[in-house]
Amino acid sequence: MRFFVLILLVLLAATTADAQGLPALSLTSSEGGTTYSLTFQILILMTALTVLPSIVLGMTAFTRIIIVLSILRQALGTQQTPPNQVLIAMALFLTFFVMQPTLTEIYDTAANPYLSGQMTPEVAIEKGSVVIKRWLVENTRQNDLLMFSEMAASGPYAAPEEVPFPVLLPAFMTSELKTAFQIGFLLFLPFLVIDMVIASILMALGMMMLSPMLVSLPFKLLLFVLVDGWALTVGSLAATYAGG
d(CA 27, CA 140): 43
Note the pLDDT tens digit of each residue in 71-117: 999 888 887 888 889 999 999 999 989 888 888 888 888 888 877 87
Residues 6+ apart with CB under 8 A from 43: 25
What is the rounded average pLDDT of the residues 114-122? Answer: 77
Residues in CB range of 73: below 8 A, 6 or more apart? 81, 82, 87
**How far is Cα 74 from Cα 140, in angstroms, rounded to an integer?**
27
pLDDT digits over 34-58, tens only? Answer: 343 455 556 666 776 777 777 777 8
Angle between helix axes 212-226 and 165-205 (nearest 10 degrees) is 120
Neighbours of 189 (CB within 10 A): 10
Q: Between residues 72 and 162, which one has the greater pLDDT?
A: 72
- Beta partners for 101? none
Non-local (6+) Cβ contacts of 101 within 8 A are: 243, 244
Q: Residue 205 phi/psi, 5° resolution?
A: -85, -5
Smallest CA-to-CA distance from 140 within 179, 196, 100 is with: 179
- Assess contact for 156 and 43: CB atoms under 8 A: no
pLDDT grade for 6, boundaries at 50, 70 and 90: low
Looking at the chain, the whole-number percentage of residues with pLDDT higher than 90 is 10
Going by the DSSP 8-state scheme, the letter that residue 20 receives in this structure is: G
115: which residues sit within 8 A by CB, 6+ positions away?
A: 13, 17, 23
| 149 pLDDT higher than 70 | yes
pTM higher than 0.95 for the full model?
no
Q: Average pLDDT, stretch 120-132?
A: 81
Q: Measured between alpha carbons, how far is residue 49 from residues 8, 9, 66 in Å?
A: 11, 14, 21
Measuring CA to CA, which residue among 216, 103, 214, 79 is closest to residue 87?
Answer: 79
